Structure 1
């Protein structure tokens, strides 16, 4: 019997694009950095394989198995050793054809797994660089939020200061926002800060 393994990184992501009718589906919503054997649905899939209920595992793409080269290759090797074909639909690869291991597929999968891990490291590097730039600008908070500004700091920003000037001159919130190039929400915040100063 065929099975489809589906993984998305967050609970908010939709799995519909990976789903397929008429195939037993195992869906995990977790990071690809979590080892395959530690994912809830992957565990159920492996149990079904050990019971002889599945002989082919389909994935939308290799990176659905994971983002760690060693983990991906270990997973594929263990499935292949159990005579379970792994089919990657996006790349058009099948690890076992007519009962024989496909060496070309294994080579390509090794390369793609390495690239997947490299891509993840690039994403992490960009995140680190972004955090460093935010720290240099003084807008980074370790809890992921923006640096909180006190009323004076908030009103000292050029557009906010202009908005405050228009509000003091009797303009409405909406008009002051338009004239100073800020949103209505920011103009309301400017008005609120002005009232407490």
Structure 2
């Protein structure tokens, strides 16, 4: 199998995250119909995935390998990079806040549902807009400005992510249970449930 380029990996990771977010939106709108335990377990797993993969692997590489370099090569994207960096700081906290709100709904009952739903909708809209800005402003500039060596460095760094939800990699042993739960229980487009 031919190695994927960093820019394709970034787009694939964005696509899998967008699918996850849309599945979460669908799940939250339907609510814990027949099996509340399954509902909360799957949503919690999905939020944990977001915290483990995009927040801890994807975003730091964008910040350190893409954003710092592209600002030097294409200074006109500085405003977009500033916003994206602020987004990265916000999204990490927001993912953890959502986990707390979900636990509150699960343990304290339906009176906490609306707070989670509102925060989840805002988070999804925010994240989809964030990825769109990266793909429409930053990635084209990377293609235009980065040298072959800089692209190779990106390729090597992003290939290490090996995000199983992109469909290109098997889950690492430590994450098999997490990905199995997400894929078998979450609704389409991310899962089979």
What TM-score comes out, normalization by structure 2 length? 0.28
Identify the structure with the greater helix proportion: 2
Identify the structure with the greater strand proportion: 1
The structure with the largest alpha-carbon Rg is: 1
The higher-RCO structure (CA 8 Å, 6+ apart) is 2
What TM-score comes out, normalization by structure 1 length? 0.28
